[in-house]
Amino acid sequence: MKKYKAGKESRVVISELMLPSHSNFSGKIHGGYILSLMDQIAFACGSKHSEAYCVTASVDKVDFRKPIEVGELVTMKASINHVGTTSMVVGVRVEAENIMTGKVKHCNSSYFTMVAKNDEGKSITVPGLILENETAVRRFVRSIIRKEDASARRDRFKASEFRLEDHIQLLKEYNIQLAL
């Protein structure tokens, strides 16, 4: 296995025509189906980089910006944005093209953390990442910040540290009744 690999060595692109079987009654493709495709491409990209099968540790986060319609051609692009010791952050971008007009819309982007595993299910070290241009550096740094933000979020709302009285004032602004 190489010690360092460039992002282009593991970049993955898939295109799939959206069929009625994956849509709701108004012809929009189910978000869960899109997530499933995104997970698959993240898995492929992470596995190519690490040369091992991976598991999905987390997904951060998915905003469905535009609906995807039946008959549109969806293209997903995945590349490694960040590597840790055993984990990789895979950036996935989803676009949908109206085949009749050629118009392309950006439907969502998300970041999957994949962890490389050996045959015994033990997490294994992944190759480092060669950052070949400014975009790659920006994505790497953004991943560091996202990880820090996620960790701060987790700590802030730990059940053991949550104090109801600290939040009563905030709750008054919302459409709720407290019935504790």
Ligand X SMILES: CC(=O)SCCNC(=O)CCNC(=O)[C@H](O)C(C)(C)COP(=O)(O)OP(=O)(O)OC[C@H]1O[C@@H](n2cnc3c(N)ncnc32)[C@H](O)[C@@H]1OP(=O)(O)O
Residues that bind ligand X (CB under 6 A): 43, 55-58, 84-87, 113, 115, 123
Q: Among 53, 116, 56, which Cα is nearest to 84's?
A: 116
Minimum gap (Å) between residue 10 Cβ and ligand X: 16
Cβ 92 vs Cβ 44: under 8 Å = no
- In the bound state with ligand X, the residue whose beta carbon lies nearer, of 58 and 75, is 58
Minimum gap (Å) between residue 36 Cβ and ligand X: 10
R_g of the chain computed on alpha carbons:
20
Minimum gap (Å) between residue 115 Cβ and ligand X: 4
Minimum gap (Å) between residue 65 Cβ and ligand X: 23
- In the bound state with ligand X, the residue whose beta carbon lies nearer, of 56 and 109, is 56
Minimum gap (Å) between residue 58 Cβ and ligand X: 3
Distance (Å, rounded) from C-alpha 64 to C-alpha 110? 10
Give the β-pairing of 53-60 and 104-117: antiparallel
At position 166, the amino acid (one-letter code) is D
- In the bound state with ligand X, the residue whose beta carbon lies nearer, of 96 and 126, is 126
- In the bound state with ligand X, the residue whose beta carbon lies nearer, of 24 and 118, is 118
Cβ 76 vs Cβ 38: under 8 Å = yes
- In the bound state with ligand X, the residue whose beta carbon lies nearer, of 102 and 121, is 121
At position 92, the amino acid (one-letter code) is V
DSSP bridge partners of 130: 6
- DSSP-assigned states of every residue in 43-63: HHHHHHHHTSEEEEEEEE---
Task: Report which residue's Cβ sits closest to ligand X.
Answer: 84
At position 157, the amino acid (one-letter code) is F
